[in-house]
Amino acid sequence: MHPTDRPRRLRADGIRDIVAETRLSPSDFVVPVFVDATTDERVPIESMPGHERVPVHEIVDRVEEILVTGIESVMLFGIPESKDEVGSRADADDGVVQRALRRLDAETDAYVIADLCLCEYTDHGHCGILEGDAEHDAHLTVRNDATLDRYASIAQSYADAGADMIAPSGMMDGQIETIRSALDADGYAEVPIMAYAAKYESAFYGPFRDAADGAPAFGDRRHYQMDPANCREAHREVSLDVQQGADALLVKPALSYLDIVADVRENFDRPVAAYNVSGEYAMLHAAAEKGWLDIEEVAHESLVSIKRAGADLIVTYFGETVAERL
């Protein structure tokens, strides 16, 4: 007796690609870009091969390199020239991100998403205003409501400078409502917010913290980023962000959290983004350098899996590499 139901018929050359259920496009990708006020030349990021910190005067050239691959959007991160306890350079009119935004707005067609956090700007490396004795006896490390005031000011500053979208990543309670209210009050009701709605306290962020010079000087971020063990909590966090006015929802990291991506896609009617983070990028490169993996193949497969799980947008350091092959 031979089988009559033969799935292999659709795996033959010629038909295999036609019936593919998931297809990548350059417009699916958002490429992170690091703009650095402390350098006059591009600085390679050792733990993230192919990526650099870029001075403000080269930001347009760097983004144009991305756009030529067909990718339409970048996410901007800043490294300021100085840091202090409250991250005062984050909302400075002449801040590094603000200067980069003005150049990109005037000289490119890129859709620019401004990541909003304080970890790159504070001298302690945490994502907000610290509790009084946080270094020695932390209860929740960061003062939630005092931090919200800072986030509101930074969002207004980014919108003033020309950001197309604001992406708050600090995981403070109420951050979306606060930022939405601040933008609306300042005349920016049309500027959308991409919420880092389910951001986990992950071990996969290491290379990014080197790239953005944003590692905590003490402790960790478990008091505000989510426990990797939790799924139902993610649903709660995402629900709150939707209620507060989030226009798009981001899950971070991506590859180890594809169940969360799928859950958000299934249960919410907003565009879903997933952040294919620096550690996911770096570990594949490290294996490729050993000759254990083909970097182009695993990069493509990784991004396909993220889109298959339900992501509409993928923030990824592989964007240019994969887009050039599509």
Catalytic (active-site) positions = 199, 252
181 appears as a binding residue in the annotation? no
Partners of 157 in beta bridges: none
Both tokens of 200, joined, read 């986990």
Integer Cα distance of 195 and 115 in angstroms: 10
232 appears as a binding residue in the annotation? no
317 appears as a binding residue in the annotation? yes
Give the distance from CA 195 to its chain's centroid: 10
Integer Cα distance of 265 and 286 in angstroms: 31
103 appears as a binding residue in the annotation? no
27 appears as a binding residue in the annotation? no
Both tokens of 139, joined, read 């209860």
Both tokens of 290, joined, read 């050993």
Q: Is 125 exposed, middle or buried (0-12, 13-18, 19+ CB in 10 A)?
A: buried
237 appears as a binding residue in the annotation? yes
8 appears as a binding residue in the annotation? no
Partners of 84 in beta bridges: 122
Looking at residue 182, its amino acid is A
Q: What is the DSSP string of 169-224?
A: -S--TTHHHHHHHHHHHTT-TTS-BEEEEEEB--GGGHHHHHHTT---SSS-STTT
Q: What is the DSSP string of 69-109?
A: TT--EEEEEEE-S--BTT-GGGG-TT-HHHHHHHHHHHH--
Partners of 194 in beta bridges: 248
Integer Cα distance of 93 and 143 in angstroms: 25
Integer Cα distance of 29 and 108 in angstroms: 17
209 appears as a binding residue in the annotation? yes
Binding-site residue ranges for Mg(2+): 237
Residues that constitute the known binding site for Zn(2+): 117, 119, 127
Mark the binding-site residues for 5-aminolevulinate, compressed into ranges.
209, 221, 278, 317
Annotated binding residues, as ranges? 117, 119, 127, 209, 221, 237, 278, 317
